[in-house]
Structure 1
Amino acid sequence: MSKQSIIPKAITEYDLRLLRIFRTVVENGGFAAAENELGVTRSTISVHMSNLESRMKLKLCSRGRGGFALTEAGQAVYHACIELFDSLNDFSMFVNNLGEELIGELVILCADQLDYGMQQKLAQVIAYIHERQPQLHLILDGEALHQIEKSLLQDKAHVGLLPSYQQIQGLNYQTIFSEPIYLCCSAKHPYFHLSDKEISAEMLAKTPSIHPGVDIDPEGREQLKRLNLSAKAYQFDTRKTLILSGCYIGYLPLSYIQEELKQQEIKIIHGDEACYQFNLSMVVKQSARESAKVELLTQAFNEVFGLEPGSESKKAAATP
């Protein structure tokens, strides 16, 4: 006698609905936790789960005093669900890519807060996209650097704006902006009223300073080797906060301290020597699932930043 298939007929829309409920329950850790996301009561979820188990002729989970737990079959079905819905999503994206009019989300993730100049540039990028594909649902958000890289590789984001610190296989990098980054202290720091000649390399080596939180480029690493790294702040705004406390010195891009320099709240230390170049890269996946959207974004950034495809950006000509 041949073994009966788990679902002995073509998968229906109702089956897909039950599987989506099952996936939500699993990812929320139980029926009660899934109530809010699903918008139905626990008893209704229980009925749906019983229906799914009945249709599949499998025990998918246990629920009782011991809490919610997947059976071995339930774990296998959950992983199959992930593959199934990813495949459906891939198919939808593939079909959408065939049309001239793009639809759905367009996701841009930034690793740092944007200063005024970069806000203006990115606003032009958004205007470029809106003029050509106004139906797209644009998402512009900030995210941790490693999470942006992960989102790009998983096709959950289309473009990331990252500082140039490493290159990951599977991603393409194009420098869109470059500017000097300087060693700074605040008006509350003892060095503020000293001249550069009075601040020796030995003094800097003993002074509490800030690590940027990522493995920056070789030029920057050489600068950091000379300091007493006793705090860490990846974001420029949080790094500036530490510097303004008067307890630490640290490196910041010139564009982030213009107002503080003007108001004499921050000063640059050894501007000719204690500086390196900060490069901002536009990062995309090499073989992106929604290639048409990535191409649109790449065209927009090249247009706004005055770049040729694959080129490096011009360095900002700025002096302290």
Structure 2
Amino acid sequence: MIRKPVTEYDLKLLKVYLAVVEHGGFSSAASALGLTRSTISIHMSNLETRLGYKLCNRGRAGFSLTEQGREVYSASLKLFDSFDDFGRLIGSLGHQLTGELVILCAEQLDAAKQKKLGQVIQFIHDQFPNLHIVLDGGSIEFIEKQLLSEKAHAGLYPCYLPLDGLEYKKVFSETIYLCCSEQHHFFQLTDTQLTEKMLATASAIHPGIDIDVKGREQLNKLNLSAKSYQFDTRKAMINSGRYLGFLPQSYIQQELNNGSMRIIKPSECFYDFELSLVNKKITREPKKLELINLAFKHAF
């Protein structure tokens, strides 16, 4: 298995693999790369060993990619495209970026996403240490207004109702599950004991924004008698033992481990939650936006 971070040797092997795929076999790739066929074969064997699976079939039947081979080819193209993006960005700047660079988040981030956002900030700072980075929070409506008025360069929030003038790129996706705490009377009941009628009468929390079709279908099954947009405040309401509510598993993993919270009917009561990187389509500071997009591509 290729280690993280990817090494220079891994990149060398992946470049050989791209040439093999694009030239339709070892012999043609050998000519293009200026290597012998046996050297190509050794590189390919080393790459497959490091990955832990076969990438291509070669023999009398001819050359063909395995399913994993097609995925690795696609991922490798994206990887080397990102290097090209970086080179184009740095080459096009020609001077230090200065002033403020503002990123606004609408969600409380769990530890994993906080770490990735830290990598975004690290990337930006290392490239342009003179930039004054502003990382702050706010509601989706507030962030949309800041983006459209160009008081912020980018926003990180779930995109359910896209606006004209803004561009959206999905950077993260995870599943949201229906939860209750140990204080709730459902906690001791099995999923088979919990009927649709019982779920429909129990007090539950609305997330406070319009969500996708799957999410609305889930909410329509419940008695929505409270509202909480932020994950941390929603968790507090669930911990009261008086409400059911939807939260991502990553956000409640500690509670699941210590038995103070449970997920209800995980195969039925769930929907997908996506975070998007959002920016104004036409901006006065395109170079800062390029930098932000590259940093998020690098981290996420």
> Cα deviation per residue 1:123-154 (whole Å; 9 max; x = unaligned)?
11111111111100000011111000100000
1:244 aligns with 2:236: no
1:165 aligns with 2:160: yes
The aligned residue for residue 122 of structure 1 is 117
SS at match of 1:192: coil
Percent of aligned pairs with the same amino acid? 55
Using the TM superposition, give the Cα deviation of residue 199 of structure 1 relative to its aligned residue in structure 2, in angstroms.
0.5
1: CA distance, partners of 2:163 / 2:214: 20
Could you tell me which of 196, 200, 224 is aligned with 2:219? Answer: 224
SS at match of 1:130: helix
1:257 aligns with 2:276: no
> Cα deviation per residue 1:5-64 (whole Å; 9 max; x = unaligned)?
xxxxxxxxxxxxxxxxxxxxxxxxxxxxxxxxxxxxxxxxxxxxxxxxxxxxxxxxxxxx
The aligned residue for residue 10 of structure 2 is none
Could you tell me which of 288, 294, 297 is aligned with 2:292? Answer: 297
Q: Compute the RMSD of aligned alpha carbons.
A: 1.2
Residue 111 of structure 1 aligns with an amino acid whose one-letter code is: A
The aligned residue for residue 198 of structure 1 is 193
User: How many residue pairs get matched?
Assistant: 209
The aligned residue for residue 179 of structure 2 is 184
> Cα deviation per residue 1:137-187 (whole Å; 9 max; x = unaligned)?
000011111000100000000110001221010001011000110000000
Moved over 3 A (4+): none
SS at match of 2:150: coil
SS at match of 1:179: strand
The aligned residue for residue 104 of structure 1 is 99
The structure that has the greater radius of gyration is 1
Q: 1:278 to 1:149 in 2, by over 3 A?
A: same
1:233 aligns with 2:228: yes
SS at match of 2:109: coil
> Cα deviation per residue 1:242-281 (whole Å; 9 max; x = unaligned)?
0000000010011110001001111000000000111010
The aligned residue for residue 207 of structure 1 is 202
1:142 aligns with 2:137: yes
Using the TM superposition, give the Cα deviation of residue 224 of structure 1 relative to its aligned residue in structure 2, in angstroms.
0.3
SS at match of 1:197: coil
2: CA distance, partners of 1:99 / 1:147: 34
The aligned residue for residue 41 of structure 1 is none
Q: 1:197 to 1:98 in 2, by over 3 A?
A: closer
1: CA distance, partners of 2:232 / 2:93: 42
1: CA distance, partners of 2:175 / 2:108: 17
1: CA distance, partners of 2:150 / 2:93: 17
1: CA distance, partners of 2:143 / 2:159: 13
SS at match of 2:208: coil
SS at match of 1:176: strand
The aligned residue for residue 17 of structure 1 is none
SS at match of 1:169: coil
1:270 aligns with 2:258: no
Q: 1:98 to 1:130 in 2, by over 3 A?
A: closer
Could you tell me which of 279, 282, 285 is aligned with 2:274? Answer: 279
Any residues of structure 2 matched to 1:32-181 within 5 Å, and which? 100-181=95-176
SS at match of 2:161: coil
1: CA distance, partners of 2:149 / 2:159: 20
Residue 304 of structure 1 aligns with an amino acid whose one-letter code is: A
Q: Which residues of structure 2 form unaligned runs of 5+?
A: 1-91
SS at match of 1:107: strand
2: CA distance, partners of 1:180 / 1:144: 21
SS at match of 1:141: strand
Q: TM-score, normalised by structure 2?
A: 0.68
